[in-house]
């Protein structure tokens, strides 16, 4: 517990710094970039989801709502774009050094934390007391908001998660092979 795949985390958070991309295909060029998400999605068709799947769906729903709140606030959307553009100019190496996660954490805290809904992350208190762990979590949440934006741009809606869950899971299984 408490371990993170640093390469996966940096690939996921790097999506926040690809600002010219307007489609998921333009961000995720390699299957390995989305394989973990597809694995999680492929298990979403279970008729009796366990507590962790329910928690994940709650977080996905909150992320989609947060993305919509951000989209509705042109001032914050502009601030977010400028801050991410400044950070992307630095072209950080991958896996990211800790200072990139702290920068993404600051951006999330200063811009997205003021919006509703607030995304609550549950975990071991000992892990959540680490500033670096918190920075990595907020970096991942910022990436999740970015991906929710892309999903929304391609026609995805919150209610699709409820009504098309099995279809999405079947598609994910097919892609995974």
Q: Among 25-29, 98-102, 122-126, 128-132, name the one with the lowest average pLDDT.
A: 25-29
Of all residues in the chain, the percent with pLDDT exceeding 70 is 94
Q: Per-residue pLDDT tens for 44-74?
A: 656 677 787 778 878 888 999 999 999 999 9
| b/e burial code for range 43-80 (CB count within 10 A of at least 16 → b) | bbeeeeeeeeeeebeebbbbbbbbbbbbeeeeebeeeb
Supply the pLDDT for residue 1. 46
User: For residue range 125-176, what is the model confidence (pLDDT) as tens digits?
Assistant: 888 899 999 999 999 999 999 989 988 888 888 888 778 878 888 888 887 7
pLDDT score at 103: 95
Q: Over the chain, what is the mean pLDDT?
A: 85
- CA dist 32 and 12 (Å) reads 11
CA 71/CA 9 separation, integer angstroms: 25
Query: What domains appear along the chain, each with residue ranges and CATH number?
Result: 6-176 (1.10.3890.10)
* pTM metric for this prediction: 0.87
Task: Please give the Cα distance from 127 to 169 (Å, whole number).
Answer: 31
**Dihedral through CA 45, CA 14, CA 147, CA 176, nearest 10?**
-30
């Amino acid at each position: 517990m408490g371990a993170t795949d640093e390469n996966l985390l940096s690939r996921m958070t790097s999506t926040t710094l690809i600002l010219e991309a307007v489609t998921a295909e333009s961000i995720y060029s390699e299957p390995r970039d989305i394989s973990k998400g597809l694995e999680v999605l492929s298990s979403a068709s279970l008729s009796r989801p366990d507590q962790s799947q329910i928690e994940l769906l709650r977080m996905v729903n909150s992320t989609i709502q947060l993305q919509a709140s951000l989209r509705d606030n042109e001032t914050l959307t502009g601030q977010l774009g400028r801050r991410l553009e400044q950070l992307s100019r630095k072209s950080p190496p991958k896996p990211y050094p800790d200072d990139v996660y702290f920068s993404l954490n600051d951006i999330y805290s200063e811009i997205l934390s003021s919006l509703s809904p607030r995304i609550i992350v549950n975990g071991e208190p000992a892990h959540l007391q680490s500033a670096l762990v918190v920075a990595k979590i907020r970096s991942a949440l910022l990436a999740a908001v970015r991906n929710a934006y892309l999903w929304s741009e391609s026609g995805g809606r919150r209610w699709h998660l409820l009504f098309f869950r099995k279809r999405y899971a079947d598609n994910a299984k097919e892609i995974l092979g």
